[in-house]
């Protein structure tokens, strides 16, 4: 497949959206700022209402909206595509990503990657067979803040990781009532697997190693899915991890992640919204100034161009999927500790 070129001769990635809902429109606003690098050729959206709202963004930008092919198989028959951005309900991720990889396309897949570890393993196998790029669109892993944070931790500058703590909160329950995000068969979980998935992934990324033991408690607060969650875990190295998720707060949305090490500490957020570091000789946490990112699609393009390594490969998705499977197993047994991957 040959990429199209902008007026200046720079190759443009010809991409398709699979899904045109609210999150797709959020990403599209930034992608429309990157038209020198990206051409949206087509979309796959079964909802006429969602497609109409998606097209309105192009109208506002003075651009022609891309056509819609609601059938994914027919859309993949288009021979003018290089990559696809999948932004659909969680239960659809595995089958859609598999189909797109097998069609020869590079894939940016909205979080969470898949519903469970078995799907994660199978998707990695498809990635390997197809020899295509697969990245998961986690804001944290794709951010300069978390990428810099992982480099600092791996360098040994702060010493051995002792503990990691994460907190995520949002008035999630109020605005997802009646939507697919509170359907356990479609969403795969509740607040911890939706907004909280950013926390699970960012901590998995910062830790840089597998979880071996997990104890978890969840409360539904009258909803069909989890709203409140507390997780305690142990990493392979012996480092301890705690995670607290509250999905029915009245304070909007927020997060905090702290990595305590032998020689200092690191603070960030689950979306990579900041990075602060404190070494032993420092009196307080000091902000690390980093360049602003235009979002996950921009970072995906940098990976495709060979400018950076894949910041969120499916291997991290597998680590998170195994963690999620263990969380569900433990919570289903009243918080009994379980071995990850058992």
The length of the chain, given as a count of residues: 342
DSSP string, 129-194: HHT--EEEE-HHHHSHHHHHHHHHHHHTTT-SEEEEEEEEEE-HHHHHTTSGGG-HHHHSSSGGGT
Which candidate, 338, 298, 330, places its Cα nearest to that of 38? 298
pLDDT (tens, 9 = 90+) of the chain, 342 residues, equals: 445 544 455 679 999 999 999 999 999 998 998 888 999 999 999 999 999 999 999 999 999 999 999 999 999 998 899 999 999 999 999 999 999 999 999 999 999 999 999 999 999 999 999 999 999 999 999 999 999 999 999 999 999 999 999 999 999 999 999 999 999 999 999 999 999 999 999 999 999 999 999 999 999 999 999 999 999 999 999 999 999 999 999 989 999 999 999 999 999 999 999 999 999 989 999 999 998 876 899 999 999 999 999 999 999 999 999 999 999 999 999 999 999 976
The phi and psi torsions of 102 (rounded to 5 degrees) equal -65, -20
Residue 180 structure tokens? 């697919």
Q: By the 8 A CB rule, do 113 and 93 touch?
A: yes
- For residue 78, what pLDDT is reported? 82
CA-CA-CA-CA torsion sign (26, 41, 300, 10): negative
What single-letter DSSP state applies at residue 33? Answer: G
DSSP string, 1-19: -PPEE-TTS-EEEEEEEE-
pTM: predicted TM-score of the whole model, two decimal places: 0.93
Conformation bin of residue 62: beta by default, left when phi > 0, alpha when psi is -120 to 50: left
3-state secondary structure of 93: helix
């Amino acid at each position: 497949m040959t990429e199209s070129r902008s007026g200046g001769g720079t190759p443009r990635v010809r991409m398709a959206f699979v899904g045109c809902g609210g999150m797709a429109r959020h990403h599209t606003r930034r992608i429309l700022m990157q038209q020198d690098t990206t051409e949206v050729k087509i979309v796959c959206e079964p909802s006429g209402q969602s497609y109409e709202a998606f097209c309105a963004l192009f109208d506002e930008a003075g651009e022609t909206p891309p056509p819609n092919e609601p059938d994914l198989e027919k859309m993949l028959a288009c021979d003018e595509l290089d990559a696809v951005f999948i932004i659909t309900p969680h239960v659809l991720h595995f089958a859609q990503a598999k189909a797109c990889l097998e069609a020869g396309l590079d894939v940016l897949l909205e979080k969470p990657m898949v519903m469970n570890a078995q799907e994660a393993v199978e998707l990695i196998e498809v990635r390997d067979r197809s020899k295509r790029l697969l990245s998961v669109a986690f804001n944290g892993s794709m951010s300069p803040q978390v990428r810099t944070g992982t480099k600092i931790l791996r360098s040994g500058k702060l010493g051995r990781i002792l503990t990691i703590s994460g907190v995520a909160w949002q008035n999630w329950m109020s605005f997802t009532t009646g939507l697919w995000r509170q359907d356990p068969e479609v969403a795969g979980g509740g607040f911890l697997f939706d907004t909280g998935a950013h926390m699970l992934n960012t901590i998995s990324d910062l830790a840089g190693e597998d979880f071996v033991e997990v104890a978890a408690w969840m409360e539904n607060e009258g909803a069909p899915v989890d709203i409140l969650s507390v997780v305690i875990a142990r990493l392979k190295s012996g480092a301890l991890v705690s995670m607290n998720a509250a999905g029915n707060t009245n304070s909007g949305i927020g997060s905090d992640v702290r990595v305590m090490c032998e020689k200092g500490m690191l603070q960030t957020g689950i979306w990579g919204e900041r990075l602060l570091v404190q070494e032993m000789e420092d009196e307080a946490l000091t902000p690390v100034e980093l360049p602003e990112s235009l979002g996950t699609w921009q970072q995906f393009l940098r990976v495709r161009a060979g400018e950076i390594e894949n910041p969120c490969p499916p291997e991290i998705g597998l680590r998170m999927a195994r963690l999620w499977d263990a969380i569900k197993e433990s919570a289903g047994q009243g918080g009994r500790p379980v071995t990850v991957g058992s």
